[in-house]
Every structure is written in C-alpha cells, then in structure tokens.
Amino acid sequence: MAQAFIGTKVNPDQNPQNSGMMPQGSSELYKYNTSPNTRAVLSQKIRLLSPTYSRNNRDSITKHQLGMVNSFSYSGNSRNTEPVRGIGFGDQIAERVPGVQDPIDISFARTLFYLSNAMQSVGFASGVDGPVRTIKHTRWPFDMEEQIVFSDIADAETQNANQNVLATIDYSGQNTSEPTIESFKYQDKKHKAIITYFEACWLTGVEHSVDISTALIAESCSAQATDVHDGFTTYGEFLSTGNNPYLSQVASKRFPK
C-alpha cells in the first residue's frame, strides 16, 4: 500500500506551526479573522489546544490549536451529598456531607479533512499518519487545554482580578495589517485568558457518521480527564476557594464570623 507524505512532502492540514498562534496546520483553512469586543464570552475567541501528531521530535508539553472544531463541552463536574440525621431530632437534616466528584467528560466535534482527522488532532498516528482506526489502538493519554480569551474590554478591567490565574496570549504571530496612523495601532498585541487544563485524557468514543443528506462530515469525540486544573496553582488543603467564614467570607449563617 502506498504511503502518503513521504520525504520532503508536507501535510498542510496537519503541519504544526510553532510561531504565533500555533495552529495545527499551515493551509488556507487555518486563516484567522477578527471578532467583536463584548463583555459576554464569544465562541469565536475560545481556543482549544492539544498535542497534534507529528513525526518530528518536539516538546511533548507543546499543544496546538485543535482545528475546525464545531462544538466543545465538558460535563460531569458534579458530586452527590449525603444527609446526616439524628434519632430524636425529628425530620431534620443536621448537615450535608459532600461525596467525591464524578469524572470529567469531554466532548468535541471536529470537521473531518482528507489529510487530518480528530485522532490525529489529539496526537495519535491515524489517517494518513498511521494505523490508528479505533480507540482500542490508542495506548497513551493526551492533554487538552481550553483558553477563554478576553476581549479588549475584559483586558482593561482585570486590575482587581487574581493575576496569578490569568495567562497572556500573544497574538503578534498573526501579523495583522496595521493602519498608517500611529495612534490607531495596537502597540501590545496580547490578550489575557483563563486557562483550564484537562490532564491525561483517555478517548472513550469516536463517532464517524456519513449521511448523504449532509455534505459536511464531522467526527464527534468523547474523552475522560484524569485531572482538571488551572496550570498555575499549587492545590492542597488550604486552597483559597472563597466562602470561607474564617477569612471574613461569610456565605452561610450557619458559619458566622
């Protein structure tokens, strides 16, 4: 069987770019445009990154923008609580004791390209790059990253925010054309972003559906994350989470200051 992209040929739809915005490919599919400045979070500014497959040795921590993702969600951010009751106190709950959190489920749908599929986009040798066809062929987990990129409005109004949990996203790699009037130029082409890391994710499902009534084919993928964190904080017993009455953060009258 003939193998594609051998030698000097390059797959432009799965050719990780290390400069600027770090897309997963270099073809015209990965062109950028602008988006409105609002207080509400826009899907146009959300960036999803993962360690796309590459034959070249590179830093395993480096992740690239996932490609043409149609939808992304994560769920399972829940846990049950158990009631504590006492004999002789009537029908009264004394306290609710939290259980453990359910696993975080991730799902996303990505447009299928001839030269790039969803499994390649999360690091596996699939499609034109290798033999991976089902999740039983995946032997290692992968990391994903969600970046909620700010608008200019949010950038300007984060002086009172916890700067330790905000990352800086450098947009200078887009090489956007600028006006000739100096006062109209963006001197600092950066945005702040809230980062969420999904660490050591295992694929739990990949749906590949072809329907003659719909020309576009999107692959739907699901995975479960081993851990979720912000990438900056050291987590432990005395994590500052808010609502702490002993730090003058009274959120319930059951725990007065």
* Strands 46-50 and 142-149, sheet pairing: antiparallel
> Would you list the domain boundaries of the chain?
28-77+94-247
Question: What is the per-residue pLDDT for 203?
Answer: 97
Residues of the chain with pLDDT under 70: 1-9, 18-20, 55-60, 257
Cα torsion angle, 58, 62, 65, 66, sign? positive
In single-letter form, the type of residue at position 38 comes to: T
Q: What is the pLDDT of residue 59?
A: 57
CB 129 within 8 A of CB 13: no
| pLDDT tens profile 226-238 | 999 998 899 999 9
Please give the pLDDT value at position 3.
47
pLDDT of residue 58: 59
| pLDDT value of residue 2 | 42
Distance CA 28, CA 209 (A): 25
